[in-house]
Amino acid sequence: MEKIQLEQNIALIGFMGVGKTTVYEELKQMGLPGVDTDSLIEEMAGMPVSEIFAQFGEPHFRDLETQAVCKAAAMQGGVISCGGGAVLRRENVEALQRTGKVVLLTATPETLLERLRDDDTRPKLRGRKTVEGITQLMKERRAAYEGAAQITVATDGKTPAQICGEILEAVKNS
């Protein structure tokens, strides 16, 4: 596979289950350095995300997330996989936009439910694993996602390779 180099970062944002991690892994395969904010948070806290929520609550998780986003944004020409709530804080969005392009991945609630049905690692999905529950949380977050996004790529029915191709093309033309 051809190796690529970028001048700016690509920050992947979007709802849980939209495929940020898959696209992130694919872009790393193409030679880009990468940081996954949830993995960084887990390293910092020494425990899984679900445990941070359970023991310390969401506000503490969000504080760690801001630190992780700032660290990730300090990279050059890499790919950042952001947790689904990372753009709820404006300061995080500003940090990501300062050094890169923010790319929103989207999918329908039906697709997301299909992918997340058997997942129990995401505290924000608890009690919401229905099309209605996902639609409601998406609605609450729509303004934050759309306000942060500089590029938007719909993922339904596309392969990871197609999605990466669209992202790289859009970043090149931006």
Contacting ligand S3P (CB under 6 A), which of 19, 34, 83, 109?
Answer: 83
Q: Give the Cβ contact number of residue 161 at 10 Å.
A: 12
13 close to 87: Cβ distance less than 8 angstroms: yes
Measured distance CA(105)–CA(167) in Å, rounded = 10
Pick out residues in 109-148 that bind ligand S3P (CB under 6 A): 122-124
Strands 34-36 and 151-154 turn out to be: unpaired
> Judged by CB under 6 A, which of 84, 106, 138, 155 binds ligand S3P?
84
C-beta of 40: minimal distance to ligand S3P in Å? 11
The residue with tokens 């939209």 is 18
CA angle centred on 22, ends 129 and 107, rounded to 5°: 45
Q: How far is the CB of 111 from ligand S3P (least distance, A)?
A: 14
x/- letters, 12..31, toward ligand S3P (CB under 6 A): ----x---x-----------
- Residue 38 engages ligand S3P in binding (rule: CB under 6 A): yes
- Which structure tokens are listed for 34? 């990468």
- Nearer Cβ to ligand S3P (119/156): 119
| Token pair recorded at residue 127 | 């009690």
Quick one: 1 or 125, whose CB is closer to ligand S3P? 125
- Which residues of the shown chain bind ligand S3P in the complex (CB under 6 A)? 16, 20, 38, 49, 83-85, 122-124
